[in-house]
Amino acid sequence: QVQLVESGGGVVQPGRSLRLSCAGSGFILSSRGMHWVRQAPGKGLEWVAVISHDGSGKYYADSVKGRFTISRDDSKNTLYLQMNSLNAEDTAVYYCAKAAFGVAPPADFWGQGTLVTVSS
Amino acid sequence: QTVVTQEPSFSVSPGGTVTLTCGLSSGSVSSSHYSSWYQQTPGQAPRTLIYTTNTRSSGVPDRFSGSLLGNKAALTITGAQADDESSYYCVLYMGSGISVFGGGTKLTVL
C-alpha cells in the first residue's frame, strides 16, 4: 500500500529555517518525480517544487526560488524540503505528491500534509 | 506570467452533468500541458481525480472524466452526487519543470 507521510512542520519565527520530510512506503521514491505543493489558510493550492526521479532536475516556483531546496535520501526513501529565510507568506500546509512521470504534475498519491506557521 | 484560469464557482443539480474548465490567460491548453484535476474538501488533502489529461486515478468513479475542450482542459462530472460538493483544482505543466495550479472551482450540488 502506497503511503506518503509528511513531518517537520511547526511554528517558526520569520527569517528562520525549517526542514520538512516526506517518508514513502509501498513504493520507491526514486522511481518517480516528487513534488511539494502548499496551501495557505483559506487559499488554493500552490505548486512549490519538484525533483526528477534521478535527482538531476530540481525546479522551483518563483516565490521560493533561492530560499527552498528540494532533495531526496534514497537510502531512507524520504523526500525533503529545506526552507530558509521564511516569511509570513510561507505559512501553509505543505503536501508531498508523486509525479505522473518525469516532472509532470502530481498524479495519484498525496500525503496528508504538515502545517508550517511563520510567526513571531 | 501565464495564469491558469478556472471558474470560481459552479452549481449543479443532483443527477446532473457539469463541466469545469481550466484555461490559460494566454494561449491554448494542449496535451503537452498534462492537465490534472484534484478534488478537495475542507481540512482534507487533495485527491487526484484525473492526470495527464484523461487518465482516471485508481478508485475514481467513471462518472469523472477529463478531456480537452476547445482551447481548455475540462473535467466533466456526470450524475452529480451530493458528496461531489467540493473544491476542484486543475494544474498545468508549463515546461522546464514548472507546474501552475488554477485558483480552484467551488462546486455546489443543489
Cell of B101: 495550479
Question: What pLDDT, on the 0 to 100 scale, is given for residue B66?
Answer: 98
What would you report as the CA-atom Rg of chain B, rounded to the nearest whole angstrom? 13
pLDDT digits (tens, 9 = 90+) for B35-78: 999 999 999 999 999 999 999 999 999 999 999 999 999 999 99
Say whether A37 and B101 touch across the interface (CB within 8 A).
yes
Say whether A47 and B97 touch across the interface (CB within 8 A).
no
Q: Do you know the residue count of chain B?
A: 110
Q: ∠ at Cα A38 (A37, A41), nearest 5°?
A: 160
* SS3 (DSSP) at B5: strand
Burial class (CB in 10 A: 0-12, 13-18, 19+), A75: exposed
B84 φ, ψ to 5°? -85, -10
Cell of A110: 498525496
Q: Can you say whether the dihedral through the CA atoms of B82, B10, B54, A40 is positive or negative?
A: negative
* SS3 (DSSP) at B52: coil
Nearest residue in chain B measured CA to CA from A5 = B45
- Nearest CA of chain B to the CA of A27: how many Å? 15
Neighbouring CB atoms inside 10 A of B55's CB total 17
Residue pairs spanning A and B at CB distance below 8 A: 80
pLDDT digits (tens, 9 = 90+) for A45-101: 999 999 999 999 999 999 999 999 999 999 999 999 999 999 999 999 999 999 988
Q: Which of B46, B55, B92 sits opposite A45 (nearest CB)?
A: B46
